Chain A
Amino acid sequence: MALLLRGMAWFGLYSFLVLLPLAFALWVDPIATPRGLWTEAATGAGFVAFTLCTLEFSLVGRFRAAAEPFGIDALMLWHRWMGIAAAAFLALHAGFLAIRSGAPGQWLDPFQRDVGRATGAAALWLAVAVVGSSLLRRRLRWRYETWQLLHGIGALGIVLGATVHALAQGSYSRVPAVRFLVAGYAGLFLLLFARYRVWRPLRIWGHPWRVVENREVGDDTFLLSLEPPQGRGWHGFEPGQFAWLITGRTPFSLEQHPITIASSAEPSSDGRADFAIKNLGDWSGQVVPALRPGDPLWVDGPHGAFTLDREPGQGFVLIAGGIGISPMCSMLLTLRDREDRRPVVLIYAAADSDALVFREELDALAAEMDLHVVYVLEQAEPGDDVESGRVTEDVLRRHLPRQYRRFQFYVCGPPSMMDAMERILPELGVPGSSIHTERFDMV
């Protein structure tokens, strides 16, 4: 309940900040005679686009207090949607002005001599490029790090361009209070940007973690064991949470990826944390396999709301696909270490038996706790004691216990599986509030 209220408060603050300049402009209203609906709609769309752009960093800046009620992955998804919305409002802003003036070219040319209009047009085209490259990164075959660098530079350019445009061109920004407000939003963006890109890396620079072990555990997956710096370990994490692993020479490196913790959340004497990383190309296929014991890397975390510590339940159903088994491992190991007696059903889907990682460990856990493991293989071999095909409603009905509606459901896997579970589970009568998912496959 407290989390829900905090979530509502944060969302209320976000909505307030998005619409504040509109209300403020309406209040000061320096235009004495009407300029026409198109012009004023363009101004309004411009204000909304500007605030959406400046607030984008607040969504992905890893603010624990703001992320806790929603989960960082949910905030990232919202960042994605609001980025598209900001580009749409920018296009409406330019479009309405073009209609009003009857000269579309002058609102779209970023190389003209008029600084106010040129910066506005540049911000518009940059927004189109930033949103387009995010939606098409895979098709463009950009490396994640390359995309991230260009995304950051593009975002900075959009906000700077939009700020100069608003101050130089805007009719409302002739009022000093509006200029102050516009500059305040731009300042907030720069502050958040500096916090994310400068202050955070500086804070952890002198405290790298060390690789203790890096071994392949099957299906092109590496289990990376990390040891915290002396006296700077985590003060606990929740099972299912993740951290950003940062490799490279400094924590300013762009090689930073969110990886789920696979080890038990119960405190251990050495404070080690394990991360299971599947080779998906790029960083996970080139950098991770080359890590050797003693190598330094930086850990930013723990983060995430995909954890079984926040929801009361009579038991748990964990549905994993592929490397989505990683948070489930952490949850199971934690339940075992806590001697939690609540029943757990693990449904683990993979392409074939070779693609199952941690199978021996899971079977051993099933003997130690009230755990029922169901393997679902797309290509099952005759004689295998597994379900064949995909995780369907029939598979779930066969293996869910009678009182499953009172259980908490955790789903982590490929997007198609998550989509299917978000459709099937409510059809089986599982309340939406008991279904928890985590997605990071956004660009």
Chain B
Amino acid sequence: MVHSLLGRAAWVFGGLAAATTLAFAALVDRAPAPPQAAPAIREIPAEELFAQHCALCHEARAMTASLRAKPDREGTRRETVDFLRGHGEASGEEDVRIVDFLLGPKAR
């Protein structure tokens, strides 16, 4: 009889695992904190911004290597920031911080 029960038990176990996965997602993806409590973007480490907005599809080391390989660093910086404005969901300020993280800070 154990065998006929196992199939049903497997479905229940799989369903519970799926429900736990969704609960995990809902808990982790909690609503953003109220604006007054949110840290200013400049306070968030640039690495963290990259992880939030880019790391899902891009690897930091590869991106850095490819951007730094281009000869005109400031031109590359401008192009990349412009590109990021139309790509992804980060704000303009976040785009600049991410590019700084990848290319190094802007020359003064």
A residues sitting closer than 8 Å to B (CB atoms) are: 15, 18-19, 22, 25-26, 29, 31-37, 39-41, 43-45, 47-48, 52, 70-71, 73-74, 77-78, 81-82, 85, 88-89, 97, 100-101, 103, 106, 113-114, 116, 168-169, 171, 174, 418-419, 422, 426, 432-433, 435-437, 439
Question: Is B62 part of the binding interface, using a Cβ–Cβ cutoff of 8 Å?
Answer: yes
Q: Does B92 contact A (CB under 8 A)?
A: no
Chain B residue numbers with a CB within 8 Å of A82 are 10, 13
In the complex, A41 Cα to B23 Cα: how many Å? 9
B29 at the interface (CB under 8 A from A): yes
| B35 touches A (CB below 8 Å) | no
Once the chains bind, are B6 and A44 in contact (CB under 8 Å)? no
Q: Jot down 30 A-B pairs with beta carbons below 8 A, ordered by A.
A: A19-B17, A19-B20, A22-B21, A25-B24, A29-B28, A31-B28, A34-B28, A35-B29, A36-B29, A37-B25, A39-B29, A40-B24, A40-B28, A41-B21, A41-B25, A44-B21, A44-B25, A48-B17, A52-B17, A73-B3, A74-B2, A77-B7, A81-B14, A82-B10, A88-B14, A89-B21, A103-B57, A113-B62, A422-B3, A439-B3
CB <8 Å contact, B17 and A40: no
| CB pair B27 A26 closer than 8 Å | yes
**B32 neighbours in A (Cβ, 8 Å):** 33-34
* Interface presence of B51 (CB below 8 A): yes
Q: Name which residue of chain A comes closest to B7, CB basis.
A: A81
In the complex, the chain A residue whose C-beta lies closest to that of B31 is A34
Indicate if the CB atoms of A18 and B52 lie closer than 8 Å.
no
Number of A-B contacts (CB under 8 A): 116
A437 contact from B3, B13, B26, B29, Cβ within 8 A: B3
Residues of B within 8 A of A (CB): 1-4, 6-7, 10, 13-14, 17-18, 20-22, 24-32, 44, 48, 51-52, 55-57, 59, 62
Q: Is the interface of B mostly helix, strand, loop or mixed?
A: helix
- Given A41-B21, A70-B2: A114 and B59 interface contact (C-beta under 8 Å): yes
CB-CB under 8 A from A47, the residues of chain B are 21, 24
Q: In the assembly, what is the distance between CA of A114 and CA of B60, in Å?
A: 11
Contacts of B57 in A (CB 8 A): 101, 103, 106
**Residues B14 and A435 in contact, CB atoms below 8 Å apart:** no
Nearest CB in chain A to that of B48: its residue: A32
Residues of A near B6 (CB, < 8 A) are: 74, 77-78, 81
Q: Contacts A77-B6, A422-B3, A437-B2: A89 and B52 contacting too (C-beta < 8 A)?
A: no
Say how far A278's CB is from chain B's closest CB, in angstroms. Answer: 21
Q: How far is the CA of A171 from the CA of B57 in the complex (A)?
A: 11
Residues in A neighbouring B52, C-beta threshold 8 A: 31-33, 35
Question: Are B17 and A34 in contact, with the CB atoms below 8 A?
Answer: no
User: Which residue of B is nearest A305, CB measured?
Assistant: B2
B1 engages A437 (CB within 8 Å) = yes
B28 / chain A contacts, CB cutoff of 8 Å: 25-26, 29, 31, 34, 40, 43
Q: Give Cα distance in the complex from A19 to B16, angstroms.
A: 10
Q: Are B10 and A43 in contact (CB under 8 A)?
A: no
Q: Which of A18, A37, A85 contacts B29 (CB 8 A)?
A: A37
**Contacts known (A32-B44, A74-B6, A437-B3); A97 close to B56, Cβ less than 8 A:** yes
Q: Please state if A422 and B4 are interface contacts (CB–CB under 8 Å).
A: yes
Q: How far is the CA of A113 from the CA of B18 in the complex (A)?
A: 31
Which listed residue (A22, A33, A37, A435) contacts B20, Cβ 8 A?
A22
Q: Hey, which chain B residues are within 8 Å of A41, CB to CB?
A: 21-22, 24-25
**Nearest Cβ in chain B — how far from A421, in angstroms?**
10
